[in-house]
Amino acid sequence: MPWTKVFLSEEDLSQFPAQEGLRSLTFVQALREAQEQLLEQDPRVFLLGEGVDDPGGIFGSTLGLAEKFGSERVMDIPIAENGLTGVAVGAAVAGLRPIFVHMRMDFLPMCMDQIVNHAAKWYYMSGGAVPCPLVIRSIIGRGWGSAAQHSQALHALFLHIPGLKLALPSTPYDAKGLLMAAVADGNPVMFVEHRWIYGSVGYVPTEPYTVPFGQGVVRRPGRDVTVVALSQMVYEAMKAARELDAEGISVEVIDPRTVKPLDEDLVCTSVKKTGRLVIADVACKTGGVGGEIACRVVERDEVLLKAPLRRVNFADAPTPCSPVLEEAYYPSSATIKETIKELCRKS
Amino acid sequence: MPWTKVFLSEEDLSQFPAQEGLRSLTFVQALREAQEQLLEQDPRVFLLGEGVDDPGGIFGSTLGLAEKFGSERVMDIPIAENGLTGVAVGAAVAGLRPIFVHMRMDFLPMCMDQIVNHAAKWYYMSGGAVPCPLVIRSIIGRGWGSAAQHSQALHALFLHIPGLKLALPSTPYDAKGLLMAAVADGNPVMFVEHRWIYGSVGYVPTEPYTVPFGQGVVRRPGRDVTVVALSQMVYEAMKAARELDAEGISVEVIDPRTVKPLDEDLVCTSVKKTGRLVIADVACKTGGVGGEIACRVVERDEVLLKAPLRRVNFADAPTPCSPVLEEAYYPSSATIKETIKELCRKS
Amino acid sequence: MWPKPSGSFIGGGKIGPQSPSGALSPAVLKDLLSTMVLIRRFEEKIIEVYGRQDMKSPVHLCIGEEAVAAGVCAHLRREDYIFTNHRSHGHCLAKGMDPRFLYAEFYGRVTGCCRGKGGSMHPAAPELGILGTSAIVGGGLALAAGTALAAQRQGDGRVSVAFFGDGGADEGTFHEALNFASLKKLPVVFVCENNFYATNSPLSARQPHPDIYKRGAGYDIPALLLDGNDAVDIYPAAGEAVARARRGEGPTLLECRTYRWKGHVGPDCDTEKGCRPKEELLSWMEKCPLELLKTRLLQEGIIDPAWYDDLVRETDRELDAALKFAQESPFPDPAEVTKHVYFDQDT
Amino acid sequence: MWPKPSGSFIGGGKIGPQSPSGALSPAVLKDLLSTMVLIRRFEEKIIEVYGRQDMKSPVHLCIGEEAVAAGVCAHLRREDYIFTNHRSHGHCLAKGMDPRFLYAEFYGRVTGCCRGKGGSMHPAAPELGILGTSAIVGGGLALAAGTALAAQRQGDGRVSVAFFGDGGADEGTFHEALNFASLKKLPVVFVCENNFYATNSPLSARQPHPDIYKRGAGYDIPALLLDGNDAVDIYPAAGEAVARARRGEGPTLLECRTYRWKGHVGPDCDTEKGCRPKEELLSWMEKCPLELLKTRLLQEGIIDPAWYDDLVRETDRELDAALKFAQESPFPDPAEVTKHVYFDQDT
Ligand SMILES: Cc1ncc(C[n+]2csc(CCOP(=O)(O)OP(=O)(O)O)c2C)c(N)n1
Ligand SMILES: Cc1ncc(C[n+]2csc(CCOP(=O)(O)OP(=O)(O)O)c2C)c(N)n1
Ligand SMILES: [Mg+2]
Ligand SMILES: [Mg+2]
């Protein structure tokens, strides 16, 4: 299936046997198209966020939408994250379908109150009377020396809050399909996008479609090691896997696509086969989502792990500015590769 | 050592061979004494929080302190959690030692910005030039039908943020010693207290003392199962262990006391001995601190777990109000007991 | 404390002069009195039963403040939105909620307005525009701006009302919600019930002056200072505020000065506990909102004592039946604890 | 857009009338000009080198806004506190920071003021009262209230200044910080640099009117509207505000209307990108703060062209040396990436 394939480069894509009527888009184009179609097909949908209408168009993901749908449905807002999230929650419980866009996930701590204490609990507190269909897009991945307050990935915080769903698309296909699914879902959904893969290419159907939450994908089958990779780490894992093939190590790369709900069976089935698990996330290690994924594996009655667990993450530190320190801070395909080789040496 | 002993009841305490000069206090009295001595010995220390000076005295933990030290050093504040946390951060970086008191941890999402983006990162962003010695006390544990917005335990959120330390005392001795250590530590410390054990009793030295962060305690030695229990769960685990003794199951109860830093070796040494691990936390399961503790065990090169992991937590749902639903929501010693027996049957 | 609240009419903007009491029709005046009696008796019955300890929900009583809810909600249509707060009873009853579903909710029964999940702090009745309730201080202001935005978009002419306390005005969301509402000229009325305390914290410990309405000017929002104990002062002002909103002229801020007779939470009086000066309470009890209106209507010959006695008798009969309904209603199935965490299209 | 900013003198409270420009001593006027030239040239040199892509820190240039930093900081003592924001260069230089340590920081060198960890958005110089910098919009207001609280407690006579933008005034922390500062009469000056944009979002899309200073009245805080391009308008007003603070008379709010010449971030102009109308920029460039002051001093015979040329030459020499120092400084050891996460007593 071309939909589930990860393309590491343009050539990569061109080498793929082109099929009839298959169109390729970048990740950011797919996001933009999803929102355009959502705005077209459902009058309840609207976008709000700081700069959604500006010339940059949130790294291109909302480009031209304000011109096409007007400033009411693509609404620039005051820099008041908590209050405006409250506004979005209010609009959602009143029947609209807001998509709140944050240029950086670092700004979500500003609105934790409305996300954690309101959006997440609204349906439950009301005894199932009033759902809160709110989608919150937030973008992760540093620019140049963005440093500690402009480069955080905080999705683990939301994993812990009952009532929230959590999606981290890695391919253009999933970017569009998961975003359309998020808006259709009817629950508050945290939708986390990594800037560094905005330019990645892949096949994206022209018509609207959804990708179901809770269904992961085997991006690459393998025998020796399972790498559960999230978001941009899927690409790093694929690179590592490709290189390790040459060295005779067969790596299975799994992309859960949504962490909540999590496709537990897919992960466990793979680990049962390989006996080795590496979890590669785009955030700090301690207290991250890797812990939950690991638990789902070791909670199985059957012992699946035959080797120690490994997690590939950012350093457990705030993000530094200096390029030298950034280099040391972020993991890459090389990190994953080394981790896998070390594991295989061990057992 | 009487200091490390957990007393399940007054009788329990009286049965303990009284030693010279050993004084017993309740958990809440120990907290109050710690703050009183901190205020006495260090002019930089001050308390701030909604109602710190009111007749209830934050469930008794600040009772009389405003009268004794005045409203400047025991300061009631506007209901503006984020702003006032910013004020506390500002005061801390200017050399004061604020202790911010929240009657409920549910209000911390209001000030995540100042905790996550400011306090936690300040020392790092400034390249080690300016530390932020801020202690944030927050209280967990429901009252009567407190429901979704007044009964959350959110410590897992802070575990994921580099720069923050995290303490969850279970005994009066640790309540005083860890709080004094937190203020002396010089870093932002999240100090989480469970209301239900405010009345628990234990030996507490009269003079000031500190309990080192990162040193857990074996509350009860055992051979068959390791239960890592946090905060109020320590008491439930001790009850369960006591009962299981009769049934011939020997349970080791470990209280990490601080989750960050975590006494990884203590946990791993115990699991190496028992081969079975149950993690009992006072919060929801998914994305909770149990995941991190589990990872530290399965990341060891040596395979320690001989049975599936088990986590004992709240239901993965917001807190309900109805007593019937609360009953179903919260785990108890019975839950731990059942979990342990099920584990032992398995392997 | 500051000088006693005056009904004097100073605003941050223009708004038609307040009608003299005579201008209110007998029908309106009787309705106001009926609503206030309903609220008063509803809560007095809670006080009667609360000692039995089987109404396991914290109750925040509004006795002494009934005029605000009555005077404001009298102008609202069934489909208009209101957001109340932790002190919710009066607003819900004034908006037309059936006492049975409130009592049942407080008793944690499945027949309650939230199936027992929410309790007294989170009532919901979507069919009456009560889409749910936040007990987070200041939480409702932004939500009301959000429903107002939805109404503006949908052109359905609905008005939104946010009831909040002087404590709510401490929060940053006050600023963010008022700024946004004024910016977009949203059909919302912000009703501040200034009872001079947040729990036991006096307004003078939280704000530099008592004139919350003066904040309106900073947002170009017409603001009024009203005697919160005098329904005849509130009714016409609220009428004009609601009318402005419906005419699309934007938000209004109403500061209603009033006083709570009972403790912050629970059925008892708190002056014994030293929370507030007894004289202060007594002076406010002298201007009881019910007595004020009742006496006026008697004097003006609009009602006679018999009419009032009948009203109370009828109200009591209804409320006793409602209590009985609640007490005899079944509890939810414990399995419901994990129900309604996520909205499900298919159910 | 709104009418062009006027220097007119309308306040929310009393404050001594503004001195006429003549009242400023030649020495003061020359110092102001020198500071502004330093800031201008400091940033123009960044523009020169930025294209080489080796200064890997986002830079927010304040060219066109130099008068505010110069006029305010001229009144501050070395030990007084300032909190700047993401647009930090001018404030830091005006407070006396050594350009070497700023440039080195922007280049990510270990000789930088934050050892390369902070970059351009988080400068720190504790010895100058710059305890660190938050780039979270509105973050600094509460922090400044906090250092002011510390100063008030310690009676050290220090004044705190918070520089923030019109975007900062959108945030709830603006409300929370001003309310608390007024409540406690804290020695703090809130300086709003209203440049009519937050990134590319015009003030008119975020606030109902342009008069941010009018918000002061709601807090009983004297507030002034100033011509942010005219150092002679700012200097005396800032002097009085700082003096009020030092006299213990509480906070002042200064709204300084000015305009940024470059794009929100980076060295380029953004009018081509359609972010702002070109004419708007040009009209503001006509009232260049440097030209304004320079011409005045030349006309008044306080300086002659030679003096100015010397000033620029001297400034350039210093800055070129500083750039060289930075470019030749070593990068931090990669191992420092995990250093300074936690403050350690013992080191
Ligand atoms: C964000 C937040 N902080 C603190 C609380 C605890 N709390 C509940 S009610 C209350 C007082 C609210 O006072 P006010 O807004 O004046 O309403 P009142 O109780 O006087 O009617 C407080 C502090 C809360 N619910 N939410
Ligand atoms: C809480 C938060 N939201 C959004 C941002 C992204 N951001 C950085 S600067 C900025 C604009 C700030 O505008 P203003 O306060 O007017 O300062 P100016 O850039 O105009 O000097 C924004 C939105 C941020 N840093 N913090
Ligand atoms: Mg109040
Ligand atoms: Mg600006």
Neighbours of ion ligand 4 (CB under 5 A): D 165-166, 195, 197-198
Contact between D180 and B96 using a beta-carbon 8 Å cutoff = no
Whether residue B184 has pLDDT greater than 60: yes
CB distance C73 to C94 below 8 Å: yes
Q: According to the model, what pLDDT value does residue A144 have? A: 86
Between positions 164 and 223 of C, the ones with CB within 8 A of B are: 167-168, 170-172, 198-201, 205-207
Contact between A122 and C132 using a beta-carbon 8 Å cutoff = yes
**B301 contact residues in A (CB cutoff 8 A):** 308, 346
SS3 (DSSP) at B44: coil
Q: Which residue has the tokens 């009793």?
A: B201
Whether residue B13 has pLDDT greater than 50: yes
**D122 contact residues in A (CB cutoff 8 A):** 147-149, 321
Q: According to the model, what pLDDT value does residue B16 have? A: 64
Looking at the annotation, which residues of B are catalytic? 150
Angle at B179 between CA B55 and CA B106, to 5 degrees: 60
Amino acid code (one letter) for D21: S
Q: According to the model, what pLDDT value does residue A6 have? A: 85
Phi and psi for A216 in degrees, rounded to 5? -80, 175
Nearest atom of ligand 2 to the alpha carbon of A50:
23
Ligand 1 centroid to residue D276 C-alpha, Å: 43
Q: Is C206 on the interface with D (CB under 8 A)?
A: yes
Quote the pTM value: 0.97
Token pair, residue A167, equals 């999606």
Whether residue C281 has pLDDT greater than 60: yes
CB distance A129 to A121 below 8 Å: no
Considering CB atoms only, which of B51, B79, B148 is closest to C137? B79
The mean per-residue pLDDT over the stretch A189-214 comes to 97
Amino acid code (one letter) for C105: E
Q: Is D332 on the interface with A (CB under 8 A)?
A: yes
> What's the pLDDT tens digit per position in D165-204?
999 999 999 999 999 999 999 999 999 999 999 999 999 9
Q: According to the model, what pLDDT value does residue A18 have? A: 60
For residue C180, give the chain A residue with the closest CA: A78
**D205 contact residues in A (CB cutoff 8 A):** 76-78
- The least confident of A139-143, D148-152, D188-192 is A139-143
CB-based pocket (< 6 A), ligand 2: A 50, 79, 81, 107, 110; D 86-87, 135-137, 164-168, 193, 195, 197-199, 264
Q: Is D139 on the interface with B (CB under 8 A)?
A: yes
Residue nearest to atom 7 of ligand 2 (CA): D137
Determine whether A246 is exposed, middle or buried from the number of CB atoms within 10 Å of its CB (0-12, 13-18, 19+): exposed
- CB-based contacts of C39, cutoff 8 Å, min separation 6: C62, C66, C69, C70, C89, C90, C93, C94
Whether residue C18 has pLDDT greater than 50: no
Q: Is A269 on the interface with C (CB under 8 A)?
A: no
Nearest atom of ligand 2 to the alpha carbon of B113:
1
Cα(A319)–Cα(B121) distance, integer angstroms: 9
CB-based pocket (< 6 A), ligand 1: B 50, 79, 81, 107, 110; C 86-87, 135-137, 164-168, 193, 195, 197-199, 264
Cα(B219)–Cα(A241) distance, integer angstroms: 46
Cα(C87)–Cα(C43) distance, integer angstroms: 11
Taking alpha carbons only, the member of B101, B91, B10 closest to residue B50 is B101
Angle at D292 between CA D141 and CA D98, to 5 degrees: 50
At B12, the pLDDT band (50, 70, 90 cuts) reads confident
Q: Which residue has the tokens 């992960």?
A: A267
Q: Is C2 on the interface with B (CB under 8 A)?
A: no
At B346, the pLDDT band (50, 70, 90 cuts) reads confident
SS3 (DSSP) at B194: strand
CB distance C229 to C215 below 8 Å: no
Phi and psi for D215 in degrees, rounded to 5? -70, -20
CA distances from D104 to A148, B155, C143, D337 (A): 18, 38, 46, 17
> Cα A294 to chain center, whole Å?
18
At C10, the pLDDT band (50, 70, 90 cuts) reads very low
Q: According to the model, what pLDDT value does residue D20 have? A: 47
Residues in chain D: 347
Catalytic residue among A102, A118, A150, A160: A150
Whether residue C43 has pLDDT greater than 80: yes
CA distances from B121 to A149, A289, B127, B164 (A): 8, 21, 10, 9
A9 vs D300, which has greater pLDDT? D300
Does A150 participate in catalysis according to the annotation? yes
CA dihedral D62, D63, D69, D74 (to 10 degrees): 150
Residue nearest to atom 11 of ligand 1 (CA): C198
The mean per-residue pLDDT over the stretch A184-200 comes to 98
Q: According to the model, what pLDDT value does residue C130 have? A: 98
> What's the pLDDT tens digit per position in B236-276?
999 999 999 999 999 999 999 999 999 999 999 999 999 99
Q: Is A258 on the interface with C (CB under 8 A)?
A: no
Taking alpha carbons only, the member of A115, A229, A112 closest to residue A168 is A229
Ligand 4 centroid to residue B148 C-alpha, Å: 38
Whether residue B10 has pLDDT greater than 90: no
Contact between C145 and A89 using a beta-carbon 8 Å cutoff = no
Q: Is B156 on the interface with A (CB under 8 A)?
A: yes
CB distance D160 to D148 below 8 Å: yes
Ligand 2 centroid to residue A105 C-alpha, Å: 14
Between positions 67 and 126 of A, the ones with CB within 8 A of C are: 72, 77-78, 80, 82-96, 113-114, 117-118, 122-126
CB distance A232 to A175 below 8 Å: no
Minimal Cα–Cα distance from B118 to chain C, Å?
18
Query: What stretch of H or E contains B251?
Result: strand B251-255
At C20, the pLDDT band (50, 70, 90 cuts) reads very low
For residue B314, give the chain A residue with the closest CA: A162
Contact between C179 and A80 using a beta-carbon 8 Å cutoff = yes
CB distance D261 to D269 below 8 Å: yes
Ligand 1 centroid to residue C165 C-alpha, Å: 8
The neighbours of chain D, by the rule of 3 or more Cβ pairs under 8 Å, are A, B, C
Q: Which ligand is nearest to the CA of D64?
A: 2
Considering CB atoms only, which of B55, B107, B318 is closest to C274? B55
Q: Is D22 on the interface with A (CB under 8 A)?
A: no
The mean per-residue pLDDT over the stretch A35-45 comes to 98
